[in-house]
Structures are given as C-alpha cells and as structure tokens.
C-alpha cells in the first residue's frame, strides 16, 4: 500500500528542484515609527529540475499597515484569502523573480519587527534550508524637531 504524502514522487536518479529566497529591507536595521519600510524578496530555482506548485509568502508583522507589492520576473498571483502569499508560475532551473513589499509602520509601534519570507513547492528539494529568509528591524520613535526662529529687536 502506498501512502499519499502530498508530495510529488521522485524518480530514482532524478535530481530535485532547488528553490531559494533572499530578503533585504530598506531602511536596513533601524526604522522610524510612522515611516515606510520596503522588503525585497528575490526568489529562484537553481535546479536542476523544474519546481511545480510554488508558493512564496511574506509573514508581515501586524505593526505593518497597508502593504502593497509589485513583482518582476516570474509571474506571481496573489493567493485568495491571504495577506501576502503568491502562487508562482512553475520555475524552471535558472528562473526566478523579485517581489517588493512596501508598508507603513504603525505610528504607535516601538520595538522589534521580525519578518519572514518562505518559498515552497510540492516536491522534495535539494537544499530546503535556503527556503526561508528572516530579517529583524528595530523600530525607534521618530524625533520631532521644532524650528523656532530667533527674532532680534
């Protein structure tokens, strides 16, 4: 009896796909309350097999408001009912793309934002440890400077 694990079966001698995601933030490291933060997710399949049923997701913290995204490269389609998850067209070896997510940091939030992106497919992978990218950003209060001109009489 064969058990269905939900994964595509691998044929003997056939090497699997190898997906990866890399993440960057702007500004890097420290951001201001009420400011904007942009995450860039670069994803790819370094092969040697095509990756099928690929899903890319970005787990934004609740303190990030009104996220928007743009994509380039491989076609991505938002997953229904998800805040930031995309179905990615099958990725042949050497193919990939970039998704850029921009959000506003809540004006009341001060602390640490931990943001994680993941990429996965239905089949087993060669190196699954590079399927997740995590960034930590410290959010500090914005300084409010007041300009008071001196008037000489």
Break the chain into its structural domains and give their ranges.
Answer: 19-138
Report whether 37 contacts 31 (CB < 8 A).
yes
Return the DSSP state at 74: S
Residue 65 makes CB contacts below 8 A (sequence gap 6+) with 103, 104, 105, 106
Please state whether beta strands 76-78 and 96-105 pair in parallel, antiparallel, or not at all (unpaired).
unpaired
Return the DSSP state at 122: S
- For residue 83, what pLDDT is reported? 77
For 153, what's the count of Cα atoms within 13 Å in the CB-facing half-sphere?
0
What residue ranges of the chain have pLDDT lower than 50? 1-10, 12
- For residue 88, what pLDDT is reported? 94
Chosen CATH of 19-138 out of 2.60.40.1530, 1.10.40.30, 3.20.20.70, 3.30.2010.10: 2.60.40.1530
Q: What is the pLDDT of residues 102-131, one digit of tens each?
A: 999 999 999 999 999 999 998 888 899 999
């Amino acid at each position: 009896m064969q058990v269905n694990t939900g994964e595509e079966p691998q044929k003997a001698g056939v090497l699997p796909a190898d997906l990866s995601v890399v993440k960057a933030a702007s500004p890097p490291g420290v951001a201001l309350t009420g400011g904007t933060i942009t995450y860039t997710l670069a994803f790819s399949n370094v092969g040697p097999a095509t990756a099928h049923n690929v899903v890319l997701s970005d787990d934004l913290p609740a303190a990030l408001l009104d996220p928007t995204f743009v994509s380039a490269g491989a076609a991505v389609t938002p997953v229904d009912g998800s805040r930031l998850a995309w179905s990615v067209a099958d990725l042949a070896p050497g193919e990939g793309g970039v998704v850029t997510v921009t959000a506003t940091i809540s004006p009341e939030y001060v602390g640490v934002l931990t943001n994680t992106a993941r990429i996965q497919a239905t089949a087993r992978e060669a190196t699954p440890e590079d399927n997740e990218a995590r960034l930590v950003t410290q959010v500090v209060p914005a300084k409010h400077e007041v300009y008071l001109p001196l008037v000489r009489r």
